[in-house]
Amino acid sequence: MEFSANQIAQLLDGTVEGNGDIKVNNLSKIEESAPNTLSFLANPKYAEYIYATKASIVIVANTFVAEKAIPSTCALIRVKDPYSCFALLLEKYNQSKNNKTGISESAKIDSTASIGSDCYIGDFVSVGTNTTIGNNVKLYAGCVIGDNVTLGSNSIIFSNSVIYSDCILGESCTIHSGVIIGSDGFGFAPSSDQEYTKVPQIGNVIIESHVEIGANTCIDRATLGSTIIRKGVKLDNLIQIAHNVEIGEHTVIAGQTGIAGSTKIGSNCLIGGQVGIVGHITIANNVKIAAQSGVQNSIDVDGTIVQGSPAFAIGDYKRSYVLFRSLPRIKSRLDIIEKEIKNSK
The verdict on whether omega for the bond into residue 310 sits within 30 degrees of 0, i.e. cis, is yes
Outline where DSSP puts E strands in 105-178. Answer: 108-109, 114-115, 120-121, 126-127, 132-133, 138-139, 144-145, 150-151, 156-157, 162-163, 168-169, 174-175
Task: With residue 92 as reference, give the H or E element that holds it.
Answer: helix 82-97
Q: DSSP secondary structure string, 195-231?
A: -EEEPP---EEEE-TT-EE-TT-EEEPPSSSEEEE-T
Q: DSSP secondary structure string, 249-292?
A: TT-EE-TT-EE-TT-EE-TT-EE-TT-EE-SS-EE-TT-EE-TT
Which amino acid does the sequence have at 16?
V
Task: With residue 339 as reference, give the H or E element that holds it.
Answer: helix 314-344
Catalytic: 176? no
| 3-class secondary structure, 49 | helix
Q: Which residue of the set 176, 210, 243, 250 is catalytic?
A: 243
CB neighbourhood size of 147 (10 A): 15
Contact between 222 and 241 (Cβ < 8 Å): no
DSSP state of 299: B
**Measured distance CA(334)–CA(175) in Å, rounded:** 57
With a CB cutoff of 8 Å and minimum separation 6, the contacts of 297 are: 281, 310
Which residues carry out catalysis? 243
